[in-house]
């Protein structure tokens, strides 16, 4: 092995940034989960729908009905344990499993930032985030001041990938040359105080924010990595995320990214934060008679070879997965083949209207399905412009009517989509019996090409 | 230091926000235009339509009373005419499922068809009817009157003798008419107070008047008009025609008149009749690609209307004799739905789904 790499792998650094990250992550997740529960979304998104859209390969994931609440309880408890660093490894594994399971129940709710939480929590399973300033320290009577440098760097790397790739995705003709979809979105924010009627209505603002957003995403990782530009980078992080948080309904994402970006700071900053937290938790510590750290030493990572291999594979996948769309001949924004899991955030304005025609071999006649009978309005909206949803729903309808005694059921889609301010076009070939088409990673030939080119990443 | 950074950013934010307020550019245009649109909707559409409906319902009640006191053919005819007039004016009201109307399920109490005859007969035998019970929604309103005035027997002679011999039918008839007024009065009254909050609710939120009314309009076009009046009876959703599901099934001769009136209501609302409405708003905000959208929608409406004009007065007969023409008409109306639900919503940026969830 190259000695530079060897040196790097063996180099150690102060453990506090990872400890602060663990606490921040735990608190953010705790709040996110309670917020989700409080908004009634567990019921409306996971329990109420009769039918759930599954990710390809995860059709086996069952909805849990009222037990979904237990899954959230598990998520909440593990978030608390992650925060305080109690049975960290078990907690982060449980968090990863329960959170990811929730996401797998229905892909209607897919968001890049949920995916980010899933893979981040997976990564954290392999990191010694409880080495310092955790309850585990007291139980094991061991606290570690130093942890391998890579264990902090890999979180920085993941955050950098998220920013950089979402910047790359913005380098396309719709975003930069037409200011789409911001040209549609921003004017609709006319109700914002002060800027709504003025800035948001200006075309130059739409272009400025398109270009600015692209440059911001591409440069943030570097601004945060270099010490000299770190503060300006962090100011930009706060400004940008709070601003987009005001503009768009993106929930907890801005706050998660702001807190997450703290990890780029030197450990001195984190030691101060820990000092501050210590002050706050002092009374609790006294009450529980928690002793201070017992031993200070460098942590040794168990099964280091395996851990490093897993993390390496993880990042290879992360680096290449977003480019899988290149394997498809179709227009990415239109057909969305290889669109998800690639940090394509807020890139398209897509509205679809899709209805299904059911034919039965037994009779000449056909009829249309009333989507409201089977889908929630949120599901219907998401289904209407995403081909894999359309196919899955077509199969559901096919199975449903077959079970109702219709013989030789055929399912056809009448689908129209408008993308980034283009007038609506027919989306799915209405001559194709979707019930006979199988989901796969292959190119979906029954999507009618958009007949327009969006150049770029 | 973190604290400093936060406060610095906060100041930066404030600076930008306050700078923008200084910009001398055309202020509050969108806001004003939306206000104007809402005012137009309230003052020139919603409130006048309710007034006309109420007046016609009062006339209906009077004809009902006259008929009750003297049950002859002439008075039956008069009552039927009042019924038809009220039903026609209802077509201008059905889409306004907002405010108290929405809260009280007004639309469902006035016009669910086909009416449930067995329920009506049951209510008549029992004598005492709770019209606010949702099981009775389909046993009141216009469809119930349609049955009572045209459908309880096969001929006018028999209908008259039924009303003469079985007074409970007469009682139910007057109860249904009275209930329609009782359903309507509070809403008309409420609009006196509701008008100002309605026209003041200009923001782009799930519960603002602009968004709710636009969604109501689309919903009416898609369900109340397209599906109920054409799609369902023509068998679009069932595989076989269901002509007995036409509006005003017992007096089938007015089904086309009702549909045309409903379409007139849709076109008027979209056009704004001299004021600002969706058409003006779309052409105002649309991008290059959508420059033709506002007229495209109108053109599609006109294509559909021409096809409706070509249908038989009696949709029941039309479906039985030549359903293809109804299906073609449905398809033309459907083309309008596509324009409204994709392009128009894309331009207006009004979300349709109110299951709120985070986006990214």
Looking at the complex, report in whole angstroms how far the Cα of residue A148 sits from the nearest Cα belonging to chain B.
25
Q: Which of B31, B236, B347 sits opposite A197 (nearest CB)?
A: B31
- A109 to chain B: which residues are within 8 Å by CB? 357
ipTM surpassing 0.90:
no
Q: Supply A35's token pair.
A: 């917020």
B270 and B279 Cβ atoms separated by less than 8 Å? yes
pLDDT of residue A292: 63
Looking at the complex, report in whole angstroms how far the Cα of residue B179 sits from the nearest Cα belonging to chain A.
31
Cross-strand pairs, A355:
A414
pLDDT of residue B22: 41
Q: How far apart are CA B64 and CA B80, in angstroms?
A: 9
pLDDT at B184 over 70: yes
CB atoms A184 and B346 under 8 Å: yes
What is the C-alpha end-to-end distance of chain B, expressed in Å? 30
A341 and A317 Cβ atoms separated by less than 8 Å? no
A198 and B21 Cβ atoms separated by less than 8 Å? yes
Q: Is B338 on the interface with A (CB under 8 A)?
A: yes
**What does the DSSP 8-state code read for residue A422?**
P
Q: Supply A144's token pair.
A: 């570690």
Q: How far apart are CA B151 and CA B161, in angstroms?
A: 13
The string of pLDDT tens digits covering residues A120-133 is: 999 999 999 999 99
Q: Is B20 on the interface with A (CB under 8 A)?
A: yes
Nearest to A89 by CA among A78, A101, A98: A78
Distance, CA of A94 to chain centre: 18
Q: What is the crossing angle of helices A88-105 and A16-38, to 10°? A: 40
A416 and A433 Cβ atoms separated by less than 8 Å? no
Order of strands, edge to edge, in the sheet holding A12-14?
Answer: A12-14, A143-148, A296-298
For residue B99, the surrounding DSSP H or E stretch is none
Residue at token pair 């789409």:
A180
Three-state SS at B344: helix
Q: Supply A211's token pair.
A: 């270009």
- B285 to chain A: which residues are within 8 Å by CB? 187
Q: Is B359 on the interface with A (CB under 8 A)?
A: yes
CB atoms B356 and A423 under 8 Å: no
Mean pLDDT of chain A: 94
Half-sphere exposure of B87 (CA within 13 A, CB side): 25
**What does the DSSP 8-state code read for residue A341?**
S
A115 and A161 Cβ atoms separated by less than 8 Å? no
User: 203-242 in A: which are within 8 Å (CB) of B?
Assistant: 231, 234-235, 238-239, 242
B75 and B66 Cβ atoms separated by less than 8 Å? yes
Q: Supply A15's token pair.
A: 């453990």
The string of pLDDT tens digits covering residues B265-319 is: 999 999 999 999 999 989 887 778 888 999 999 999 999 999 999 999 999 999 9
Residue A139 pLDDT level (bands cut at 50, 70, 90): confident
pLDDT at A164 over 90: yes
Q: Which of B28, B237, B359 sits opposite A249 (nearest CB)?
A: B359
Q: Is B162 on the interface with A (CB under 8 A)?
A: no
The string of pLDDT tens digits covering residues A208-221 is: 999 999 999 999 99
Q: Where are the alpha helices (DSSP H) in A126-266?
A: 135-140, 149-169, 173-177, 182-185, 203-225, 230-247, 253-261
pLDDT of residue A297: 82
CB atoms A377 and B1 under 8 Å: no
CB atoms A45 and B27 under 8 Å: no
Q: How many CB pairs (< 8 A) connect A and B?
A: 158
Q: Is B13 on the interface with A (CB under 8 A)?
A: yes
Mean pLDDT is lowest, of A123-132, A282-291, A296-305, B284-293, for: A282-291
């Amino acid at each position: 092995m190259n000695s530079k790499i060897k040196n790097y792998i063996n180099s150690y650094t102060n453990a506090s940034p990872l400890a602060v990250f663990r606490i921040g992550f735990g608190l953010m997740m705790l709040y996110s989960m309670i917020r989700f529960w409080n908004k009634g979304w567990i019921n409306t998104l996971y329990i109420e729908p009769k039918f759930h859209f599954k990710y390809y390969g995860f059709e086996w994931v069952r909805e849990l009905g009222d037990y979904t609440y237990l899954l959230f309880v598990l998520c909440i408890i593990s978030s608390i344990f992650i925060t305080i660093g109690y049975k960290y490894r078990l907690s982060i594994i449980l968090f990863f499993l329960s959170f990811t399971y929730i996401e797998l129940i229905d892909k209607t709710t897919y968001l890049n930032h949920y995916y980010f939480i899933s893979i981040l929590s997976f990564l954290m399973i392999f990191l010694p985030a409880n080495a310092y300033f955790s309850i585990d320290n007291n139980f094991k009577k061991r606290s570690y001041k130093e942890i391998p440098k890579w264990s902090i760097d890999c979180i920085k790397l993941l955050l950098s990938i998220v920013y950089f790739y979402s910047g790359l995705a913005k380098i396309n003709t719709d975003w930069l040359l037409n200011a789409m979809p911001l040209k549609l979105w921003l004017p609709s924010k006319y109700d914002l105080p002060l800027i709504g009627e003025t800035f948001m209505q200006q075309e130059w603002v739409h272009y400025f924010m398109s270009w600015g957003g692209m440059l911001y995403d591409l440069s943030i990782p570097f601004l945060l990595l270099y010490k000299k530009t770190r503060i300006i980078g962090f100011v930009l992080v706060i400004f940008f995320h709070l601003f987009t948080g005001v503009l768009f309904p993106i929930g907890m994402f801005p706050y998660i990214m702001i807190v997450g970006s703290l990890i780029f700071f030197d450990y001195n900053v984190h030691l101060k934060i820990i000092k501050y937290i210590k002050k706050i938790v002092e009374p609790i510590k006294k009450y529980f008679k928690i002793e201070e750290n017992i031993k200070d030493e460098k942590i040794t990572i168990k099964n280091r070879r395996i851990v490093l291999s897993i993390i390496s594979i993880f990042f290879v996948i992360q680096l290449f997965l977003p480019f899988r769309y290149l394997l498809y001949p179709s227009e990415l924004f239109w057909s969305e083949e290889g669109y998800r899991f690639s940090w394509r955030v807020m890139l398209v304005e897509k509205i679809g209207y899709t209805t299904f025609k059911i034919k039965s071999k037994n009779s000449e006649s056909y009829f249309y399905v009333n989507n409201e009978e089977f889908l929630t309005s949120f599901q219907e909206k998401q289904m209407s412009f995403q081909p894999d949803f359309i196919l899955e729903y077509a199969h559901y309808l096919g199975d449903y009517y077959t079970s109702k005694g219709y013989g030789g059921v055929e399912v056809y889609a009448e689908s129209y989509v408008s993308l980034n301010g283009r007038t609506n076009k027919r989306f799915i070939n209405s001559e194709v019996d979707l019930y006979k088409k199988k989901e796969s990673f292959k190119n979906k030939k029954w999507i009618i090409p958009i007949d327009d080119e969006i150049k770029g990443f | 230091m973190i604290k400093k950074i936060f406060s610095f950013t906060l100041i930066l934010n404030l600076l930008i926000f306050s700078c923008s307020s200084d910009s001398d550019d055309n202020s509050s245009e969108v806001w004003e235009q939306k206000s104007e649109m809402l005012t137009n909707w309230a003052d020139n559409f919603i409130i006048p339509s309710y007034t006309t409906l109420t007046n016609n319902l009062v006339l209906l009640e009077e004809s009902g009373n006259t008929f009750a006191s003297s049950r002859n053919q002439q008075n039956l005819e008069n009552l039927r005419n009042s019924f038809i007039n009220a039903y026609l004016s209802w077509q201008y009201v059905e889409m306004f499922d907002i405010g108290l109307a929405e809260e009280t399920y007004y639309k469902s109490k006035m016009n669910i068809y086909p009416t449930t005859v067995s329920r009506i007969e049951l209510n008549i035998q029992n004598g005492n009817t709770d019209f606010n019970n949702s099981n009775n929604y389909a046993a009141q309103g216009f469809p119930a009157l349609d049955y009572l005035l045209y459908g309880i027997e096969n001929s006018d002679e028999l209908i008259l003798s039924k009303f003469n011999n079985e007074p409970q039918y007469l009682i139910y008839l007057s109860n249904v008419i009275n209930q329609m007024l009782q359903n309507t009065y509070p809403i008309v009254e409420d609009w006196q107070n509701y008008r100002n909050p309605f026209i003041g609710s200009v923001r782009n939120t799930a519960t603002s008047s602009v968004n709710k009314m636009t969604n109501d309009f689309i919903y009416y076009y898609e369900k109340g008009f397209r599906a109920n009046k054409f799609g369902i009876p023509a068998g679009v959703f069932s595989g076989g025609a269901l002509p007995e599901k036409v509006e005003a099934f017992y007096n089938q001769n007015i089904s086309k008149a009702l549909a045309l009136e409903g379409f007139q209501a849709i076109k008027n609302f979209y056009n704004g009749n001299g004021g600002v409405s969706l058409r003006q708003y779309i052409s105002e905000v649309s991008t290059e690609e959508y420059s033709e959208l506002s007229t495209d929608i109108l053109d599609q409406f006109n294509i559909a209307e021409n096809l409706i004009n070509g249908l038989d007065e009696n949709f029941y007969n039309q479906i039985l004799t030549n359903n293809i023409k109804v299906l073609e008409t449905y398809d033309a109306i459907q083309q309008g739905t596509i324009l409204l639900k994709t392009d128009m919503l894309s331009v207006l940026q009004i979300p349709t789904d109110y299951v709120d969830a985070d986006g990214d």
